Amino acid sequence: MLASRRKWITYIVLSAVGLFFYLLGSSPDTSAGGYSNLSTPPEKIEFQWEKYDEKYPVEWMVSLPLHPIKKLPKIQYGFPEEFFKVLLPKQKMRQEAVKESFLRAWKTYKEYAWMHDEVTPLTRVPLDSFGGWAATLVDSLDTLWIMDLKDEFQEAVLAVSKIDFRNTEAKEINVFETTIRYLGGLLSAYDLSGEQILLDKATELGNILYVAFDTPNRMPVTRWNIHSTFMGLSQEANSFCLLAEIGSLTMEFTRLSQLTGDPKWHDAVDRIMEAFSQQQKGTRLPGMFPVVVNARAKNFQGRVDTFSLGAMSDSFYEYLPKMHALLGGVDQKYGKMYRYAMDVAKKHILYRPMVPDNANILISGKVTAYSETDIGLNPEGQHLVCFAGGMFALGSKLFDIPEHMDIAHMLTDGCTWSYKATRSGMMPEVFHMVPCPTKEPCEWDEGKFHEAVVTAHFFDKNDDQDNSPQGIIDRERLPLGIRSMQDRRYILRPEAIESVFVLYRTTGRMDLLDKAWEMFAAIEGVTKTAYGNAGLDDVTIAREAVAAGDAPLSDRMESFWLAETLKYFYLMFSDPNLISLDEYVLNTEAHPFKRAG
Ligand code: DMJ
């Protein structure tokens, strides 16, 4: 009794903390815009990093590991000749449809928001949501190259040369978003094209971002008030810091060091990862880290004891195997940390949901660790966590863990199941299911599902409504298997197609081609506007309503639609040798970096 009261209190406190961060706009779920100062009056500053006097210079630097210790295992499936003759040509039309969608958005961006961060897909208005450095332009560079839009690419490169990263009207810089979208975009476009200006710009931005690491313990300020730094005020890392924001700067900073030969960026992020690796055993859920950590105290072991592979944590785990690949396996800590973390995630975070078709799927949830032995599962599902299938597939190949490939299949199928389950054919941002008692399959039990639906909607009870299970299911338009939806939007996110793509490239599972096409057709069918694609506010709206022009669309098209979602769809239907995973490793914004070795 006491324990369950304690759980409720903890749940309420954690929800309040979550809400606090959400309202602050501090979730790495970037739908809120990434900058919390959109409404504050703009103040133009020019940050002259060349004249910046470091307050806490490093005394020694870790050198950049250059040569792979051994050849890493092959990642991609060996597609047979027959595939190239028969199946691949059939994908051409699909690929063209994806390219057409990209071009529609790109043209609107060019015409109405060139050099701004985004263009709004309904009203065609420019929006500066990420520092005003032309986020869509930089984020899309490599997609232009990959889609063989070389003229548009050259025009964009010319425009990149005019971006001045020393100027921003934003008061606060989100270092993580700036790193994955801008730095990642520039580095990848350089890796693909060899255009020197792209590396020069990446270096300019890297030098500015390096100043965020000038703190007493060399942990970076992740929500960075660039104005006060410029005014000469000293800075400290944040004491409430999201795991993903501090723990996934590694790939971009390391790639910059690899390409320039200057080890300082790699050194900066290696210090963070060394600290994580030393503290991995000491958390409430040893092996994993809480979603909020204290960078100011360099304490990564606990603040809020919620653990997840999803929002606020995601790319921290994603970057462990990817760093192993990027460094050619030279640094052993990444593999070690990954295996440890995934053993724990497998045991506690992944769950099998009870579904009407008894599909063989897994969902990645959330847990709260009350103590090392009292660990409570929150059977949540998120679009953001759908990257995990791809991560398990990559990790399975890189570290030779065959069992992880089974998990990769089940997690990815869990996401495609969730797409198919809704009336629009798209997965909601956040929802809850009913977990089976174990990870073994369990039979569908309608009574149990109804009970879960009623409990989940206990606080929404209203005497004027039908509060029976069926009444709630009808009113909320709940698909069977989903007991509640906390966030009904689909905001053009990439994670599900990302896993479908990685799983397809690693296993050659051919049914994924049709699955991917179904997903694309659903998304394009509902979110397409004359000027691009717009996020959908409610995925439970039937396609017929949408066809009648009744889709509740929101006037936002984040840069990841062009940088990630459309790129993954395009690569899905392309020759598997285009951006082979044996040659490239993609950052969390889908920017391919050349692998060592
Ligand atoms: C992207 O910017 C990145 O994939 C990030 O890691 C998480 N979310 C968005 C897209 O959903």
Q: Is 586 part of any domain? A: yes
Nearest CA to ligand 1 atom 5: 588
**Closest alpha carbon to 208 in 238, 239, 244, 170:** 170
538 given a catalytic annotation: no
For the chain, 597 residues long, give each residue's pLDDT as a single digit of tens. Answer: 344 444 444 444 444 444 444 333 333 333 222 233 334 444 566 778 788 899 999 999 999 988 877 889 999 999 999 999 999 999 999 999 999 999 999 999 999 999 999 999 999 999 999 999 999 999 999 999 999 999 999 999 999 999 999 988 898 999 999 999 999 999 999 999 999 999 999 999 999 999 999 999 999 999 999 888 888 889 999 999 999 999 999 999 999 999 999 999 999 999 999 999 999 999 999 999 999 999 999 999 976 689 999 999 999 999 999 999 999 999 999 999 999 999 999 999 999 999 999 999 999 999 999 887 889 999 999 999 999 999 999 999 999 999 999 999 999 999 999 999 999 999 999 999 999 999 999 999 999 999 999 999 999 888 889 999 999 999 999 999 999 999 999 999 999 999 999 999 999 999 999 999 999 999 999 999 999 999 999 999 977 777 777 789 999 999 999 999 999 999 999 999 999 999 999 999 999 999 986
454 near 462, Cβ under 8 Å? no
CA Rg value for the chain = 23
What digits encode the pLDDT tens for the residues 401-459? 999 999 999 999 999 999 999 999 999 999 999 999 999 999 999 999 999 999 999 99
In terms of DSSP H, where are the helices of 25-53?
none
Catalytic residue among 118, 172, 267, 314: 314
For ligand 1, say whether the CB of 493 is within 6 Å of any of its atoms. yes
Q: Is 102 part of any domain? A: yes
Q: Is 294 part of any domain? A: yes
What digits encode the pLDDT tens for the residues 542-554? 777 777 777 899 9
Q: Ligand 1 centroid vs 450 CA: distance in angstroms? A: 34
Q: Which two tokens stand for residue 114?
A: 């060139």
Dist CA 514 CA 28 (whole Å) = 31
Residue type, 150: K
Q: Which atom of ligand 1 is nearest to the CA of 387?
A: 4
Q: Which atom of ligand 1 is nearest to the CA of 383?
A: 11
b/e per residue 404-418 (b: at least 16 CB within 10 A): bbebbbbbbbbbbbb
What digits encode the pLDDT tens for the residues 46-89? 778 788 899 999 999 999 988 877 889 999 999 999 999 999 99
406 given a catalytic annotation: no
Q: For residue 49, how many other CB atoms are within 10 A of its CB?
A: 18
Q: Ligand 1 centroid vs 446 CA: distance in angstroms? A: 35
155 given a catalytic annotation: no
Q: Ligand 1 centroid vs 587 CA: distance in angstroms? A: 10
Burial of residue 37 (number of CB atoms within 10 Å: 0-12, 13-18, 19+): middle
Helix pair angle (332-344, 264-279), 10° resolution:
40
Q: Ligand 1 centroid vs 588 CA: distance in angstroms? A: 6
What is the bridge-based pairing of β-strands 126-127 and 306-308? unpaired
Residue in the block written with tokens 């009744």: 550
3-state SS class at 303: strand
Q: Is 412 part of any domain? A: yes
Structural domain range at position 246:
51-594
Dist CA 240 CA 292 (whole Å) = 6
**Total structural domains within the chain:** 1
Q: Is 440 part of any domain? A: yes
164 given a catalytic annotation: no
CATH number for the domain including 160? 1.50.10.10
For ligand 1, say whether the CB of 136 is within 6 Å of any of its atoms. no
The torsion angles phi and psi of 382, rounded to 5 degrees, stand at -140, 145
**Closest alpha carbon to 140 in 567, 568, 581, 500:** 567
Q: Is 1 part of any domain? A: no
Dist CA 125 CA 488 (whole Å) = 25
Q: Is 113 part of any domain? A: yes
Largest CA distance in the chain: 69
588 assigned binding-site residue? yes
The residues near 295 (Cβ < 8 Å, ≥ 6 apart) are 217, 219, 220, 222, 237, 238, 239, 241, 246
For ligand 1, say whether the CB of 322 is within 6 Å of any of its atoms. no
Q: Is 38 part of any domain? A: no
